C-alpha cells in the first residue's frame, strides 16, 4: 500500500511537470483527487487494514495528499501567470474597425442650404408635419373645394385641430409655415423652412409620397421679383457649384401673384429626356412668386406697406440632380448600397 501510494505520487508529479493548460490540470485533479479519483480509491482501502497499519499508512496518505494539493496549486499559479503574460496588451496589433453611420444625403444638403441662408440673414424655422387644413390650404388662399387642392392630394386624418375648427392633414408642402411665421414674427421677415411633406401620389422615378421641400420667405418694404431671382441664383450656385441651365415659366399657385416656375435642365440625361424628368429634359424644381396679399393679411401683415417673395424648393429632387440619382424611391429605400455612397 505504501509503495502504491508513493508510486502514484511520483506518477502525478511527473504528469504535472508537463502540464501547460488549466483545463488539462483540472482534468488531472479530478482523475486523481476527485471523489472517484485513483488516490481516493486507495484511501478507501484503508478500512481493511489493521489499526497499526491504518495509523502508519493513514499518516503517509494524508501527507501525500497534502503534497499533491500543494503541487496542484503551485502548477495552477504558474500556468495562470504564463497566461497573463501571454495575454499582455499588444498595442501594435491593428485595431478592430468600428462601423460609423453618417448623415443621409438629404440631411447633408439641407445643412448646406441652411448655412447658405443663415449667411444671408434668414432664420431657419420648423413647422408641424400634421397640419391643420386651415394653415395647409385656407390661410394660403386655397378655400375648400378650390380646384388647386386637387394638385396636392394628401393623407387626411380623421381628427380636427386643437380648437376643433379644422381637419388635420399630413402637410402637403412647407408653405403653411409662411403664415405661422408671419403671425409669430411679423414683418420684416426672412426665413427658410426645410422639412418633410406628404402627398397621395402615384409613385414613379420622380414622385414620392414622402419627400422634402425647403420653403423660403422674405418680406419687407419694396421687395420685388428681382430679389427673388437673385436669391434663387445664389441658391443654385451654392448647391451645384457651377452655372446651371435654368428656365423660368409662369406658374399658378393661389398663394402667390404673380407665380413662376424655375426648372433646371435635367442633370441625369443632360436635357435629352429620361424617366427622371418624364422625358421632357427639364425638371420642375422651384415654384415661387410674390406673396399674395390675402396671405399677408392671414399673417397679420399690412399688404399696403409690405411685399414679399416665397419659393418652395423640391429639396429631394434638387439632390437627385446634384448627385445624378435617377430614381427618387432610393432615398427612402434604406438600401445601404445606395446610402454608403455619400
How far apart are alpha carbons 46 and 54 in whole angstroms?
6
Q: Based on the number of CB atoms within 10 Å of its own CB, is 17 exposed (0-12), middle (13-18) or buried (19 or more)?
A: exposed
| Minimum distance, C-beta of residue 339 to ligand FA5, in the bound complex (Å) | 18
| Contact yes or no for 289/310 (Cβ under 8 A) | yes
Pick 269 or 288: Cβ nearer ligand FA5: 288
Number of residue whose CB is nearest ligand FA5: 314
| Minimum distance, C-beta of residue 235 to ligand FA5, in the bound complex (Å) | 13
Task: Say whether 102 sits in a helix, a strand or coil.
Answer: coil
> Which 76-95 positions form the footprint of ligand FA5 (CB under 6 A)?
none
The residue with cell 407665380 is: 259
Strand partners, 307: 220
| Minimum distance, C-beta of residue 199 to ligand FA5, in the bound complex (Å) | 5
| Contact yes or no for 113/216 (Cβ under 8 A) | no
| Contact yes or no for 316/106 (Cβ under 8 A) | yes
Pick 9 or 173: Cβ nearer ligand FA5: 173
Pick 7 or 247: Cβ nearer ligand FA5: 247
Pick 82 or 107: Cβ nearer ligand FA5: 107
- Contact with ligand FA5 (CB under 6 A): which of 187, 256, 266, 295? 256
- Contact with ligand FA5 (CB under 6 A): which of 38, 129, 167, 201? 201
| Minimum distance, C-beta of residue 100 to ligand FA5, in the bound complex (Å) | 29
- Contact with ligand FA5 (CB under 6 A): which of 122, 134, 166, 253? 253
| Minimum distance, C-beta of residue 121 to ligand FA5, in the bound complex (Å) | 19
Pick 28 or 193: Cβ nearer ligand FA5: 193
Pick 25 or 287: Cβ nearer ligand FA5: 287
- Contact with ligand FA5 (CB under 6 A): which of 175, 205, 223, 269? 175
| Contact yes or no for 212/106 (Cβ under 8 A) | yes
DSSP 93: S
DSSP 301: -
Q: Site size for ligand FA5, by CB under 6 A?
A: 24
Q: Which three cell numbers stand for residue 219?
A: 418680406
| Minimum distance, C-beta of residue 173 to ligand FA5, in the bound complex (Å) | 3
Pick 64 or 218: Cβ nearer ligand FA5: 218
> Which 204-243 positions form the footprint of ligand FA5 (CB under 6 A)?
207-208, 211, 213
Residue-wise over 284-322: b if at least 16 C-beta within 10 A, else e? Answer: bbbbbbbbbbebbebbebeeeebbbbbbbbbbbbbbbbb
Q: Which three cell numbers stand for residue 47?
A: 478500512
Distances, alpha carbon 334 to alpha carbons 35, 58, 164, 199, in Å:
61, 76, 37, 20
> Which 272-331 positions form the footprint of ligand FA5 (CB under 6 A)?
284-285, 287-289, 310-312, 314, 316-317, 328
> Which 108-167 positions form the footprint of ligand FA5 (CB under 6 A)?
152
How far apart are alpha carbons 28 and 15 in whole angstroms?
8
How far apart are alpha carbons 237 and 216 in whole angstroms?
16
* Binding positions for ligand FA5, rule: CB under 6 A: 152, 173, 175, 199, 201, 207-208, 211, 213, 253, 256, 259, 284-285, 287-289, 310-312, 314, 316-317, 328
Amino acid at each position: 500500500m505504501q509503495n502504491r501510494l508513493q508510486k502514484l505520487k511520483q506518477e502525478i508529479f511527473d504528469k504535472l511537470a508537463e502540464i501547460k493548460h488549466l483545463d488539462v490540470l483540472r482534468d488531472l485533479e479530478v482523475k486523481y483527487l476527485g471523489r472517484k479519483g485513483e488516490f481516493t480509491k486507495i484511501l478507501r482501502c484503508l478500512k481493511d487494514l489493521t489499526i497499526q497499519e491504518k495509523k502508519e499508512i493513514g499518516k503517509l496518505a494524508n501527507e501525500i495528499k497534502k503534497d499533491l494539493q500543494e503541487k496542484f496549486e503551485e502548477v495552477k499559479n504558474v500556468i495562470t501567470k504564463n497566461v497573463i503574460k501571454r495575454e499582455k496588451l499588444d498595442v501594435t496589433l491593428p485595431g478592430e474597425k468600428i462601423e460609423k453611420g453618417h448623415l443621409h444625403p438629404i440631411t447633408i444638403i439641407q445643412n448646406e442650404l441652411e448655412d447658405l441662408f443663415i449667411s444671408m440673414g434668414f432664420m431657419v424655422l420648423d413647422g408641424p408635419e400634421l397640419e391643420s387644413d386651415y394653415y395647409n390650404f385656407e390661410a394660403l388662399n386655397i378655400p375648400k373645394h378650390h380646384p388647386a387642392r386637387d394638385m396636392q392630394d394628401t393623407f387626411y386624418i380623421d381628427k380636427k385641430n386643437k380648437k376643433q375648427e379644422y381637419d388635420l392633414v399630413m402637410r402637403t408642402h412647407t408653405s403653411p409655415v409662411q403664415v405661422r411665421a408671419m403671425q409669430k414674427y411679423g414683418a420684416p421677415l426672412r426665413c427658410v423652412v426645410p422639412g418633410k411633406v406628404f402627398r397621395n401620389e402615384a409613385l414613379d422615378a420622380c414622385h414620392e409620397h414622402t419627400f422634402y421641400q425647403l420653403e423660403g420667405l422674405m418680406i419687407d418694404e419694396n421687395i420685388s421679383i428681382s430679389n427673388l431671382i437673385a436669391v434663387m441664383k445664389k441658391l443654385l450656385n451654392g448647391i451645384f457649384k457651377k452655372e446651371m441651365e435654368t428656365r423660368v415659366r409662369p406658374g399658378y399657385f393661389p398663394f402667390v401673384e404673380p407665380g413662376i416656375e424655375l426648372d433646371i435642365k435635367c442633370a441625369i440625361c443632360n436635357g435629352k429626356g429620361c424617366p427622371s424628368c418624364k422625358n421632357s429634359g427639364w425638371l420642375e424644381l422651384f415654384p415661387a412668386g410674390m406673396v399674395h396679399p390675402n396671405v399677408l393679411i392671414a399673417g397679420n401683415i399690412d399688404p399696403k406697406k409690405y411685399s414679399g417673395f416665397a419659393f418652395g424648393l423640391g429639396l429631394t429632387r434638387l439632390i437627385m440632380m446634384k448627385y445624378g440619382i435617377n430614381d427618387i424611391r432610393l432615398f427612402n429605400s434604406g438600401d445601404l448600397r445606395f446610402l454608403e455612397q455619400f
